[in-house]
Amino acid sequence: MNQSATSPRIQTERLLLRRFTEADAPEVSRLCDNYNLYKSTLNLPHPYPVESALEWIATHEESYTSGRMYEFAITDKESGTLYGAVGLSHQQAHRHGEIGYWIGEEYWGQGYTTEAARAVLDFAFNEKGYHRVYARFFASNPASGKVMEKIGMTHEGTQKEHICKERRYEDLLLYGILNPNRQ
């Protein structure tokens, strides 16, 4: 993994995780304006116009500077193609945070989310000194749980009917992992 504090960039075998720029907004909008993606995520609205993408990207600098949130564009290391996003919140008082991610539907099933999430988990533990990282997903989206299992997280519990989406309550499954090098 290669990461710089002044310009957070993480490289993996196939991916470059980097900051979003305003130039990414049209592609973010195209990828996120997808009903199947919307119904499997906690916070993405639908429809998702370019203006929403620009507003979302505009929040990243302050979040990164304050250390509250690290939001990375998941891109192809060679071509620069934008596949999705992976974010990591930071609860400084407790040295833990939550990983969240989304990937464009056309890129599902290719291992990009797992590769990106694994790299961000490494960033959390080895660069930022987190004690614990957790993630949540809808019970109706088991593929997200598979990603969590592949990066070493284990099921910790279920938040019954925790989120109301499209006038229907959904269970959230909670997964987590402790820093293997914790002190």
Please state, in angstroms and rounded to a whole number, the distance separating the CA atoms of residues 122 and 124.
5
Tokens of 155: 């099921």
The average confidence (pLDDT) of the chain is 94
What's the pLDDT score for residue 6? 47
Average pLDDT of span 46-72: 93
Structure confidence at residue 67 as a pLDDT band (50, 70, 90): confident
Weakest mean pLDDT among 57-66, 121-130, 168-177: 57-66
Average pLDDT of span 88-105: 95
- Domains assigned to the chain: 10-178 (3.40.630.30)
Question: Is 169 a residue whose pLDDT tops 80?
Answer: yes
Average pLDDT of span 27-51: 95
What's the pLDDT score for residue 2? 44
How many separate helices (H) and strands (E) can be counted in the chain?
A: 6, 8
What digits encode the pLDDT tens for the residues 143-152?
A: 999 999 999 9
Q: What DSSP letter does each residue of 142-171 carry, written as one string?
A: HHHHHHHHHTT-EEEEEEEEEEEETTEEEE
What's the pLDDT score for residue 72? 98
Structure confidence at residue 74 as a pLDDT band (50, 70, 90): very high
Please state, in angstroms and rounded to a whole number, the distance separating the CA atoms of residues 181 and 183.
7
